Amino acid sequence: MMSRSGFRLESSYTAIQGLNAYRGMWHAHVQGAFPGFIPARELCLRGGYSFLGVTEHDNRFTQMQWSEQDWYAAQSADFLVIRGFEATHPLGHITCLGFLPEQTGVDADAARRIRFEKAQLDAGYGDFLKTAADLGAFLALNHPAKWRGRAHELAGQPDFGCLHALEIYNGNQVGKSLAQGYTPDLLDDCLALGCRIWAAANPDCHSWDTSQADGPFNGYNVVYAGRLTRQAILESLKQGRFYASTGQEIDVITVTGDSLEITAPACRYIRFIGHHGRVLQEDHGERAAYRFTGEEGHVRAELEGHQPSPLSVGDAPARAWLQPVRVIPR
């Protein structure tokens, strides 16, 4: 989108008008207290969710007992279940949404032996990211706190460019340590390096008890797509047509030739953030507009509500994070 001021804006939100907004999560586990696909769907629907990405660890897939019938029985006109898995990759745990381990060349049994038997085996991760990306998977780096302060090193890893997103909020890890589960600073460092990567929030739920801190509703994403289908959701995620949240909702996101405008109900403040987390502007209330100068490089928005999320058991104010808008000189 070209501005008359000598720069143009590149935003994943310029084409969302007319699309539907679907709330969903994709970092969710089925071992342990998983209630089954049908009960999980009903639980998600009561929470206002439209889709669920089931992403069990690759090293546990050989223990899974579900069938094709189990997967498809949970689908309905108003709810979508997307297959996926969490890869035990050398970069860290990586969500591969849309495909199963064997489809990407990952040997789930070998991954299990590496994890639990400490075996020195090649589980096929060398080509995993490129293979998954070529298939059309959505790839996200989960709870990446170990890379804090090492963005240069992270961005220099082979096939890092295949990743679409990194989690800046992981509910399971936040329950253990705020520093472990809350990583927008790493996103800022990656963006300052010119990396093209989106921000995600997920519960990483290992329990499906909504009264527990590691339950299913403490982080989610709102995806803009034309239809509630696997292909449409995956494509919107890869293109960054979503925002991350712990409960703060956003009604309007408008990107014009030289501004970003946001309307969010029950919002306490809206911050516009530039390189390395520098706050460029802060507005209090439910509406804000940021006018670009052309020198920012990128700008992202972070919102905080007045109250905790009604879906969370925690007492932290609900938050939301928009995807960065790139500012490109003409």
- pLDDT tens-place string over residues 129-179: 999 999 999 999 999 999 999 999 999 998 999 999 999 999 999 888 888
Q: What is the CATH number of the domain that holds 325?
A: 2.60.40
Within this chain, do residues 268 and 185 fall inside the same structural domain, yes or no?
no
The model's pTM is: 0.93
Q: Which of 244, 302, 298, 243 is nearest to 275 (CA)?
A: 298
Among residues 240, 264, 291, which one ends one of the domains? 240
Among residues 240, 273, 303, which one ends one of the domains? 240
Who wins on pLDDT, 292 or 330? 292
Q: Which of 47, 310, 25, 309 is nearest to 165 (CA)?
A: 25
The half-sphere exposure of 216 on its side-chain side, counting CA atoms within 13 A, is 30
Within this chain, do residues 194 and 217 fall inside the same structural domain, yes or no?
yes
DSSP 3-70: -TTSEEEE-TTTT-TTPEEEEEEEEE--SSS---HHHHHHHHHHTT--EEEEEEEGGGGGG----HHH
Is the four-CA dihedral 68, 74, 79, 85 of positive or negative sign?
A: negative
Within this chain, do residues 93 and 126 fall inside the same structural domain, yes or no?
yes
Within this chain, do residues 148 and 225 fall inside the same structural domain, yes or no?
yes
Q: What is the CATH number of the domain that holds 98?
A: 3.20.20.140
Q: Given this model, what pLDDT does residue 36 score?
A: 80
Q: Domain tally for the chain? A: 2
**H helix or E strand, kind and range, residue 182:** none
Within this chain, do residues 42 and 153 fall inside the same structural domain, yes or no?
yes
Within this chain, do residues 93 and 165 fall inside the same structural domain, yes or no?
yes
Q: Taking 80 as the threshold, does the pLDDT of residue 199 lie above it? A: yes
Alpha-carbon span 45 to 231, nearest angstrom: 21
Q: Which of 5-9, 108-112, 219-223, 305-309 has the lowest mean pLDDT?
A: 108-112
Mean pLDDT of the chain, nearest integer = 90
Q: Taking 90 as the threshold, does the pLDDT of residue 81 lie above it? A: yes
Within this chain, do residues 284 and 184 fall inside the same structural domain, yes or no?
no
Q: Given this model, what pLDDT does residue 286 score?
A: 97
Q: What is the mean predicted confidence (pLDDT) over 31-54?
A: 87
CA 29 to chain centre: 15
Q: Which of 29-38, 78-87, 94-103, 192-201 has the lowest mean pLDDT?
A: 29-38
Q: Given this model, what pLDDT does residue 1 score?
A: 54
Q: Given this model, what pLDDT does residue 66 score?
A: 66
Within this chain, do residues 202 and 89 fall inside the same structural domain, yes or no?
yes
Alpha-carbon span 237 to 137, nearest angstrom: 10
Contact 320, 303 (CB under 8 A): yes
Within this chain, do residues 286 and 168 fall inside the same structural domain, yes or no?
no
Q: Given this model, what pLDDT does residue 248 score?
A: 95
Among residues 240, 262, 293, which one ends one of the domains? 240
- Could you count the other beta carbons within 10 Å of the beta carbon of residue 147? 20
Within this chain, do residues 12 and 24 fall inside the same structural domain, yes or no?
no
Within this chain, do residues 79 and 38 fall inside the same structural domain, yes or no?
yes
Question: Given phi > 0 = left and psi -120 to 50 = alpha, else beta, which region is 142?
Answer: beta
Provide the domain limits for residue 64.
19-240
The half-sphere exposure of 131 on its side-chain side, counting CA atoms within 13 A, is 13
Within this chain, do residues 226 and 292 fall inside the same structural domain, yes or no?
no
% of the chain surpassing 90 pLDDT? 66
- pLDDT tens-place string over residues 56-69: 888 877 656 666 67
Q: What is the mean predicted confidence (pLDDT) over 31-48?
A: 84
Cα angle for residues 190, 163, 55 (degrees, 5° grid): 125
